Amino acid sequence: MNYRGSTGYGKSFLHKGDKQWGVGDMQHDLTSAVQWAIDEGIADKDKICIYGGSYGGYACLAGLTFTPDIYCCGVDIVGPSNIKTLLDSIPPYWAPLRNGMLLKIGDVDNDEKFNKKISPLFHVDKIKSPLLIGQGANDPRVKQAEADQIAFSMKEKGIPVEYVLYPDEGHGFARPENRIDFNGRAELFLAKHLGGRAEEFIEADGASAQFPLLEKEEVEDEEEEFQRAISAERLTNEILGDM
């Protein structure tokens, strides 16, 4: 939907989104649209997913954190989770763009409280619903760190999250193999949490999907096994030393 701040409706409508990210009118418009669809009998209030990319990914994270009772699941594609780290990652040659974003979003550089207020990363504890994250490792706009930090935070807190990283993608998925791969994973995710049918998932040939959360678990398991082996060796040496 075209929430306040959208282009194509004139300058006045565009600027109605200024400093309205996350907890302001831009997000309120999405919430109101959901309520309208429920009231009209179009949507089932217990089966609503929030799904988006880039700003839409941020809106997904904001929806799950700031209005956690509305959505039963979310899909975030290349969405920022911390507005300050998002802007800090902008390269110097994009300085005019960064200054423009500060005017649109608000002064997160000098107002730490405001940044924490609108950044979903600082409200992870409020998330009640499962999340699927898709990210490109070469994204020049929304760096991989934006996905990493919220995915690992949710994982550590025991909140259901799936995280798919494509090392050969940027801000969105350009390679057909990766598009097919992520769409198939998203279809399964939506069928699981919304109900309905899903085609059997078959990994697309040539897709580059990686799973940072699972890889970290494997590393931790290997480290734990290594430490157990060291402990067992020390114990054996102590026993032999006492003989």
Q: Supply the pLDDT for residue 235.
A: 60
Q: Supply the pLDDT for residue 237.
A: 59
If asked whether residues 205 and 90 sit together in one domain, one would say yes
Summarised one tens digit per residue, pLDDT across range 180-218 is 999 999 999 999 999 999 999 999 999 999 999 998 665
If asked whether residues 119 and 180 sit together in one domain, one would say yes
Active-site residue (options: 15, 18, 28, 54): 54
Q: Say which CATH number the domain at 238 has.
A: 3.40.50.1820
- Tell me how many domains the chain contains: 2
Average pLDDT over residues 140-165: 97
Q: What is the pTM of this model?
A: 0.88
Catalytic annotation on 139?
yes
If asked whether residues 82 and 11 sit together in one domain, one would say no
The alpha-helical segments, DSSP class H, found in the chain are 11-15, 25-39, 55-66, 83-88, 95-105, 112-118, 144-156, 176-194, 212-242
If asked whether residues 142 and 37 sit together in one domain, one would say no
Identity of residue 41 = G
If asked whether residues 100 and 216 sit together in one domain, one would say yes
Q: Supply the pLDDT for residue 34.
A: 98
Domain hosting residue 34, numbered range: 1-45
Cα angle at 5 between 69 and 189, to 5 degrees? 40
If asked whether residues 3 and 24 sit together in one domain, one would say yes
- Give the number of other CB atoms < 10 A from CB of residue 159: 19
Active-site residue (options: 139, 153, 181, 193): 139
If asked whether residues 128 and 214 sit together in one domain, one would say yes
If asked whether residues 29 and 98 sit together in one domain, one would say no
Active-site residue (options: 18, 168, 171, 208): 171
Summarised one tens digit per residue, pLDDT across range 80-137 is 999 999 999 988 888 899 999 999 999 999 999 999 999 999 999 999 999 999 999 9
If asked whether residues 5 and 57 sit together in one domain, one would say no
If asked whether residues 89 and 196 sit together in one domain, one would say yes
Share of the chain above pLDDT 70, in %: 88
If asked whether residues 86 and 14 sit together in one domain, one would say no
If asked whether residues 26 and 106 sit together in one domain, one would say no
Summarised one tens digit per residue, pLDDT across range 215-226 is 866 545 445 554
